A and B are shown apart, each in its own frame.
Chain A
Amino acid sequence: MVGPLDKDSWLGASGKDWDIVLSSRVRLARNVAGVPFVGMASDPDRNEVVGMVRRIPMFAGHDADLMWLEMENMGDRDRRMLVERHLISHQFADATFPRGVAISKDERLSVMVNEEDHLRIQTLAPGLALREAFQRVSEVRDEFESSIEFAFSPRWGFLTACPTNVGCGIRFSVMLHLPALRITEELGRVRQAAKDLDLAVRGYHGEGSESIGDFFQISNQITLGTSEEELLEEFLGSVVPQLVEYERHARSVLQEKKRMMLEDFVHRAHGTLLSARLLGIDEAIKLLSRLRIGRALGVVDSPDLAVIHRLLLNVQPAHLCALSGTTMEENDDSLSARAEMVRSALG
């Protein structure tokens, strides 16, 4: 069973630009040379890849910090919990063939084996901490390279199942909280910047998901013709600062020119969260998002951002189910349990 979130998890409220950047993520896609990609592989092939990973010392169970989870043996709720924690993808949770994931105790490292590619190595960190996340992912990559030969071509770089990931096979991303840009109706600036800079803009749960509560995942799309370090420097040096600056400017406009409006919607959100008896998932995240900007701008003095972050996770269906004993369906029982959990955490 998936346990409670570690206190050192990436979902803390720290790091540079923590008020706008929730978390940083670096993901590497790799495939084993000479083995068909996961979609075309047979189950023995997939098992072989799992076996290769498990023979690497750090994944063989000797490292107390790393936990290995076989997905076939895991229940639906636990798989959903891992998705909600951004440790595995929906696609990986729903697959039915041999696959597994290694997760570090602090959940800052996860390695999916047999997702779309044989390996998806991911590191997470709170706030804007891409350099640290990249350092960690590079160390894990080196561990793999000393044991496994990856599919690589001098021209195309690391060969991936989807040809748009070819080259470095790396994805830098940040989860941004942009409520002020929504209120001032300037989200178009983010979309334009994303278009100009070849960035992908996704919702809270990554690919294919909608933005809920004005949380946006921004990531690079270019992975070929440039080095990992160049991509990182561009992302850290210009992309993220530009987007953060847009939101900061919108927040200052709200504070200076629309202070009453800002206070009104933050307090309304806080009041609803403190008194609601039935709370749906989308409404909960939307209200927590408003409370978060209120806390970041000092409109309210409590709760701590870490409490809000934990609630953002715990109000989601699988976590709510694990904590309250409800089903994962949205019904009166789960709506009531969610409202009660929020009241209790904020009260």
Chain B
Amino acid sequence: MEHKCDRCEKPAQVHEVRIKNGKKQEIHLCPECAAAEGYGSTGGPMAQQFAKAIPVPPQSQKRRSTSCPTCGLSIAKFRHHGVLGCPNCYQAFEKHLEPLIARAQGGASHHSGHIPERQEGHMDRQLQRSKLLKQLNEAIAAEQYERAAEIRDSLQGLGGSMLGGEE
């Protein structure tokens, strides 16, 4: 049903329903009269006020506080310092990084330079190293030094080992 302006009978475009003391009151105004009454037009300050008043849904809040699941760096901290926390941040913040990198790199979005040679069995070695490292810590904790020395030798034998600590 089309309403007429409460003030001048032109077609109304601004509609408001007020409930006061349990009583419903409807207001219908044409754009001119609405402006005169202090109502803004669509997309103007009223819309902005409206947007501000909308409670932020949980999903948006979650997006705003995005953190890297591996190192825990938040996007806010990255924006502040400009430095990422770990290699996995590139995946965690991909959508944020894409435009940033494109801007810094003249629009480029893919690597086309040197690729490291595939190291055969590297991932397997990494898994094995992790296991041995755990066993080493257990042996040291149990004061089984001979066994610890054997494990250390095995770790060194893997090459590029990850013993940790200083030499």
- Neighbouring A residues of B73 by C-beta, 8 Å: 40
Contact A225 B165 (CB under 8 A): no
- With an 8 A cutoff between CB atoms, is A132 at the interface? no
Residue tally, chain A, CB below 8 Å to B: 52
Contact B116 A37 (CB under 8 A): no
- Neighbouring A residues of B164 by C-beta, 8 Å: 44, 47-48, 51
Query: Closest Cβ of chain B: how far from A7's Cβ, in Å?
Result: 32
With contacts A36-B86, A166-B101 taken as known, whether A224 is within 8 angstroms of B71 at the C-beta atoms is no
**What is the CA–CA distance of A219 and B51 in the complex, to the nearest angstrom?**
46
- With an 8 A cutoff between CB atoms, is B149 at the interface? no
With contacts A51-B165, A51-B166 taken as known, whether A40 is within 8 angstroms of B101 at the C-beta atoms is no
> Which of A36, A149, A154, A198 meets B111, CB within 8 Å?
A154
**What is the CA–CA distance of A152 and B159 in the complex, to the nearest angstrom?**
20
> Which of B86, B87, B109, B113 meets A168, CB within 8 Å?
B113
With contacts A163-B101, A198-B106 taken as known, whether A147 is within 8 angstroms of B167 at the C-beta atoms is no
**Helix, strand, loop or mixed for chain A's interface?**
loop
Most B Cβ at <10 Å: residue of A47, A156, A164, A168: A156
- With an 8 A cutoff between CB atoms, is A148 at the interface? yes
- Neighbouring B residues of A116 by C-beta, 8 Å: 83
- With an 8 A cutoff between CB atoms, is B100 at the interface? yes
With contacts A37-B86, A149-B119 taken as known, whether A167 is within 8 angstroms of B167 at the C-beta atoms is no
**What is the CA–CA distance of A154 and B116 in the complex, to the nearest angstrom?**
10
Closest A-chain residue to B86, C-beta based?
A36
- With an 8 A cutoff between CB atoms, is A145 at the interface? yes
- Counted as pairs of residues, one from A and one from B, with CB atoms less than 8 Å apart, the total is 135
Contact B108 A224 (CB under 8 A): yes
With contacts A33-B87, A149-B119, A163-B97 taken as known, whether A51 is within 8 angstroms of B104 at the C-beta atoms is no
- With an 8 A cutoff between CB atoms, is B139 at the interface? no
Binary interface encoding of chain A residues 39-57 relative to chain B, with 1 for a CB under 8 A from any of its CBs, else 0: 1100010011011101110
Q: Quick one: which of A223-278 are within 8 Å of B by CB?
A: 223-228
Most B Cβ at <10 Å: residue of A159, A163, A227: A163
**What is the CA–CA distance of A56 and B156 in the complex, to the nearest angstrom?**
12
Closest B-chain residue to A34, C-beta based?
B126
**What is the CA–CA distance of A247 and B87 in the complex, to the nearest angstrom?**
42
Contact B161 A161 (CB under 8 A): no
- With an 8 A cutoff between CB atoms, is B21 at the interface? no
Closest B-chain residue to A154, C-beta based?
B111
Contact A147 B86 (CB under 8 A): no
Contact B159 A150 (CB under 8 A): no
Contact A224 B109 (CB under 8 A): yes
Which residues in B have some Cβ–Cβ distance to A below 8 Å? 70-71, 73, 81-87, 90, 97, 100-101, 104-117, 119, 122, 126, 156, 159-167
A-B CB proximity, top 8 nearest: A225-B108, A157-B111, A40-B85, A151-B87, A168-B113, A224-B105, A147-B160, A48-B164
Which residues in A have some Cβ–Cβ distance to B below 8 Å? 31, 33-37, 39-40, 44, 47-48, 50-52, 54-56, 98, 116, 141, 145-159, 161-164, 166-168, 170, 198, 221-228
